[in-house]
Amino acid sequence: MKIRIDSQANGEVFRRFFEWRFEFPEVLDESGKFIGFDIVVGNPPYISHDNIAYRDSLKGKYAVHQSFADLFCYFFELGFHIAREEGFIGFITSNSFLKAEYGKPTREFLTQKSTIQQVINIEETQVFEEAIVNTSILTYQKGKFNDNILIVNAKYDEKTNFDEFVKQHEFFYEQEDLTAQNWNLVSKERLKLLNKLSQNFPSLEQLHCQINLGIATGANDVFVIDEAKKIKLIKQDANNEKIIKPILRGRDIQKYVYEFANLYVILTRNEVNVEKDYPTLYQYFDSFGEKFKQRGAQGRHWTNLRATSFFDDFQLEKIVWIELSDKGRFALCSEEVYLLNSAYFLIPPKDLAIKYLLGVLNSKLIAFYLKSTANTSGMGTTRWINIYVKNFPIPVVSKEKQQSIITKVDQILTLKKADKEADTSSIETEIDELLYQFYGLTKEEKRLIGNNV
């Protein structure tokens, strides 16, 4: 006890701590009231949400809190609070908050509370060797002013002088151009077209289109089997065939068509009692030991797949697509075929024929929309995931107009069925031209799309 008291008395205990109010007395007024810093800059740690040990304690303390928000998002709000009125804050961070769903509270906080000064988004360049992420530099001012926002959204060659890079690619937004919605950082011309599309046409979500990710087995090496293993398991017990179903990976899906790779999933839904009704499959699963039994993604029993509400939808006619791709690859799937979680599928709304919607989704306009609004993977591909796809604007037109697209989609499907490498580009161009009419685009808008896909 005496050692502890002596340690406190001589200040030894405090030497391991940094108290910025002592180190920077300028942030206090004469009465000791906190005023704040003139400038706050930093490079917050890149820690994902699932590695924040104290994330539950952040919920009530930060307006930017979101369950899946990475740690750096909280620094945007903290920097704001420790800056003085009209002070400036600047951070270099991952750029994921610009478009990610978890970044929406952060974007809302920044646009409502501050004046954005600069957003410099550095695409497909690894600025930091130890962090494989795309980065952005955000500067903002505490308070609301009418300053224009300097925007840069481009690839950076590290051999180029950074100031020259900024001057070469800069353009400007007004403050109202950034909201809580995705910060797409496209040119003003493209932004105007995106706003026209989203304001004049309902999104897939507004049309109540059901979109789902494929199955997460937690152990693909166990649940996903090839043709030889399927035959072997059925020979052991013919009953096993009931729950062995064809499955596609994302890579099996191309534009308009897919190529079955002779892979199957052992579909042990929660209602399946594997030990009782499929004893040879139980033995098969048991052979993989404790690691398999303790996997994260499992159902009621370790032999069951994790429960989902849409297993039956795989039996319906659907549109399927790969998650990561450099272009749209939507295909028609009319059979009971399941998907791994590297792919998505949708069931079309009642008022839209599935082949009409297929033509729309594979169009240049939708590719333009996705490229303008979605995050890239950092490896040159775009993420065709639900949070972006659900916002696609869809022209709801008469059955007669839908049929004009369906006829051409049927032509493509016929050619692709005979030869999956068949060149259908001329028919696809005809579909694009019809859709431009449905969307009411001008010549300039069509040119803009053509130059940016």
Q: What CA–CA distance (Å, rounded) separates 315 from 17?
A: 61
- Residues 181 and 264 reside in one and the same domain: no
* 57 within domain boundaries: yes
Estimate the crossing angle of helix 425-439 against helix 364-373, to 10 degrees: 70
pLDDT exceeds cutoff 90 at 330: yes
- 236-262: average pLDDT: 97
Q: Which two tokens stand for residue 173?
A: 């937004």
- pLDDT confidence of residue 118: 97
Residue with tokens 């008291």: 5
Give the predicted TM-score (pTM) of the model: 0.83
Render pLDDT for 413-437 as a digit per residue (tens, 0 to 9): 999 999 999 999 999 999 999 999 9
What 3-state class would DSSP assign to 382?
strand
pLDDT exceeds cutoff 70 at 129: no
- Residues 235 and 173 reside in one and the same domain: no
- 281-304: average pLDDT: 95
Q: What CA–CA distance (Å, rounded) separates 246 from 71?
A: 40
* 319 within domain boundaries: yes
* 22 within domain boundaries: no
- Residues 340 and 216 reside in one and the same domain: yes
- Residues 176 and 242 reside in one and the same domain: no
Asked if 255 and 328 touch (Cβ cutoff 8 Å), the reply is yes
Using alpha carbons only, give the angle 387, 388, 390 rounded to the nearest 5 degrees.
75
- Residues 256 and 325 reside in one and the same domain: yes
Q: What CA–CA distance (Å, rounded) separates 328 from 392?
A: 12
pLDDT exceeds cutoff 80 at 188: yes
**Rounded-to-5 percentages of helix, strand, coil across the chain:** 40, 20, 40
- pLDDT confidence of residue 336: 97
- pLDDT confidence of residue 376: 72
Tell me the pairing of strands 343-347 and 224-226. Answer: unpaired
Question: For residue 358, what are the domain limits?
Answer: 210-450
* Structural domains of the chain, count: 2
Task: Tell me which of 79 and 351 has the higher pLDDT.
Answer: 79
Q: What CA–CA distance (Å, rounded) separates 360 from 202?
A: 13
- pLDDT confidence of residue 296: 86
* 24 within domain boundaries: no
- pLDDT confidence of residue 15: 63
Per-residue confidence at 382, pLDDT binned at 50, 70, 90?
confident
- 309-322: average pLDDT: 96
CATH number of the domain at 68, please. Answer: 3.40.50.150
Strand-pairing partners, residue 103, are none
- Residues 174 and 247 reside in one and the same domain: no
* 232 within domain boundaries: yes
Per-residue confidence at 334, pLDDT binned at 50, 70, 90?
very high
- Residues 52 and 89 reside in one and the same domain: yes
* 73 within domain boundaries: yes
- Residues 303 and 348 reside in one and the same domain: yes
AA letter at 123: E
- Residues 159 and 286 reside in one and the same domain: no
Q: What CA–CA distance (Å, rounded) separates 394 from 207?
A: 9
- Residues 152 and 241 reside in one and the same domain: no
* 214 within domain boundaries: yes
Where in 327-440 does DSSP place strands (E)? 330-333, 338-339, 343-347, 382-383
Asked if 432 and 395 touch (Cβ cutoff 8 Å), the reply is no
Other CB atoms within 10 A of residue 195 CB:
11
Query: Judging by beta carbons within 10 Å of its beta carbon (0-12, 13-18, 19+), is residue 243 exposed, middle or buried?
Result: middle
Share of the chain above pLDDT 70, in %: 93
* 31 within domain boundaries: no
Residues contacting 404, CB < 8 A, separation 6+: 434
Other CB atoms within 10 A of residue 190 CB:
20
pLDDT exceeds cutoff 70 at 11: no
- Residues 340 and 242 reside in one and the same domain: yes
Render pLDDT for 71-100 as a digit per residue (tens, 0 to 9): 999 999 999 999 999 999 999 999 989 988
Q: What CA–CA distance (Å, rounded) separates 303 from 310?
A: 19
Determine phi and psi for 91, rounding to 5 degrees.
-135, 145
Asked if 347 and 210 touch (Cβ cutoff 8 Å), the reply is yes
- Residues 217 and 154 reside in one and the same domain: no
Q: Which two tokens stand for residue 338?
A: 């399941």
Return the exposure string of 211-223: e unless at least 16 CB atoms fall within 10 Å of the residue's CB, then b.
bbbbbebbbbeeb
